[in-house]
């Protein structure tokens, strides 16, 4: 669903919610701003809709091109990691912003550390008038000056007591902050993974709806199966390792997986064994051919076969095995010669 960008983004700390609510009312009643065009993340009816799966993506969409960003720069604001991220995003995107300093935040310190060239107290009548002029210019909303003055004075009435009643920042130990950041990053990664899974499932459903027979369904299943992908990669890795071995060495490996010894028959097979023996991949004991497991190429091939065998042993997806055996008409097993000949090496 396309999100309609808000006209004004009111960036504030959660602990300053009461103050943000009061300021939002001033914008609505004193500047004729439509309340539906104010994004204020903690205010009912003006924030992020209930059930929004990814509030960060929603916020990124909403603040993409607001006409005006109002910053409630309080001690709570600078104690909030999320608020600082909002502030960085606003400046990084070059958005028009109007900083309102909430006492007892030191305004001169803001200028020195944050390069805020324009900043005034939220308790200042003249500075609120500047806010009204900014809203009028950016949002194209206008009310009579007399009406604005009444609403402004009502806003200022009792404002000092309201600010004093706001909760103070909570200073979190560094290790707890780091742990919270790690959980936050992990949650974001989980959200991204879930969203990726949803996109994949939707694409798979779309492809399945186009299928006309069982073969096409099987092709779609292979396309979206993680097990199919891993199986293909392991087979390719094993095939590559086996290609570097002599023929007799590969045959010896096959029989060793079956728990037996390779016993060459006939002159041709013995010639193959002698060739492998000269490369020290195998050695001959009586009428048997045994592997030289210390040989680097043999060791590499055994490791690849072990990985493939472990995958097949731990396979939890019976559908892959059933589909494989239906399509190939032989068992999905490393002890099967047909499997070797088709997927690994001809022996």
Largest CA distance in the chain: 111
Question: What pLDDT, on a 0 to 100 scale, did the predictor assign at position 64?
Answer: 60
Per-residue pLDDT of the chain in tens (347 residues, 90 and over written 9): 333 467 888 989 889 999 999 999 999 999 988 888 888 765 444 444 544 444 455 555 655 667 888 999 998 988 887 787 777 777 767 778 899 999 988 766 565 445 455 678 999 999 999 999 999 888 877 778 899 999 999 999 999 999 999 998 876 666 766 776 777 677 667 777 777 777 766 776 776 667 777 666 556 555 555 778 888 889 999 999 999 999 999 999 999 999 999 999 999 999 999 999 999 999 998 889 999 999 999 999 999 999 999 989 887 777 888 888 988 999 999 999 999 999 999 88
Question: What pLDDT, on a 0 to 100 scale, did the predictor assign at position 109?
Answer: 57
Separation of alpha carbons 179 and 134, rounded Å = 41
Question: What pLDDT, on a 0 to 100 scale, did the predictor assign at position 219?
Answer: 62
Question: What pLDDT, on a 0 to 100 scale, did the predictor assign at position 45?
Answer: 41
Task: Using the CB atoms, write b or e for 138-148: b if 16+ within 10 Å.
Answer: bbebebeeeeb
Reply yes or no on domain 8-165 having CATH 1.10.1370.30: no
Separation of alpha carbons 169 and 102, rounded Å = 13
| Domain locations along the chain | 8-165, 173-224, 225-344
Question: What pLDDT, on a 0 to 100 scale, did the predictor assign at position 46?
Answer: 44
Burial of 201 (0-12, 13-18, 19+ CB in 10 A): exposed
Q: Are the C-beta atoms of 136 and 157 separated by less than 8 Å? A: no
pTM: 0.47
Question: What pLDDT, on a 0 to 100 scale, did the predictor assign at position 211?
Answer: 72
């Amino acid at each position: 669903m396309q999100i309609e960008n808000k006209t004004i983004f009111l960036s504030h700390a959660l602990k300053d919610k009461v103050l943000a609510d009061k300021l939002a009312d001033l914008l609505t009643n004193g500047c004729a701003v439509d309340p539906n065009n104010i994004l204020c993340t903690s205010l009912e009816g003006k924030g992020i809709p209930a059930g929004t799966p990814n509030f960060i993506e929603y916020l990124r969409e909403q603040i993409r091109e607001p006409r005006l960003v109002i910053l409630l720069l309080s001690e709570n604001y600078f104690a909030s990691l999320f608020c600082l991220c909002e502030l960085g995003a606003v400046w990084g995107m070059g958005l028009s912003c109007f900083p309102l300093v909430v006492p007892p935040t030191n305004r001169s310190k803001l200028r020195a550390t944050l390069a805020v060239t324009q900043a005034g107290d939220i308790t200042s009548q003249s500075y609120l008038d500047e806010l009204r002029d900014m809203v009028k210019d950016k949002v194209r909303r206008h009310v009579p000056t007399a009406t604005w003055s009444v609403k402004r004075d009502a806003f200022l009435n009792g404002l000092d007591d309201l600010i004093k009643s706001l909760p103070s920042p909570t200073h979190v130990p560094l290790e707890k902050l780091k742990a919270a950041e790690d959980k936050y990053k992990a949650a974001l990664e989980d959200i991204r993974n879930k969203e990726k899974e949803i996109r994949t499932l939707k694409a798979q459903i779309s492809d399945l709806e186009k299928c006309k027979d069982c073969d096409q369904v099987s092709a779609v299943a292979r396309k979206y199966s993680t097990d199919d992908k891993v199986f293909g990669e392991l087979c390719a890795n094993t095939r590559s390792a086996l290609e570097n071995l002599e023929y007799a060495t590969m045959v010896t490996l096959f029989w060793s997986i079956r728990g037996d010894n390779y016993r060459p028959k006939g002159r041709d097979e013995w010639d193959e064994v002698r060739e492998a023996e000269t490369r020290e991949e195998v050695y001959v004991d009586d009428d048997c051919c045994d592997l030289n497991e210390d040989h680097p190429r043999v060791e590499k091939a055994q490791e690849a076969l072990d990985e493939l065998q472990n995958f097949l042993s731990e396979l939890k997806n019976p559908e892959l095995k059933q589909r494989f055996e239906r399509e190939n008409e032989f068992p999905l097993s490393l002890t099967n010669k047909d499997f070797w000949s088709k997927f690994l090496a001809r022996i």
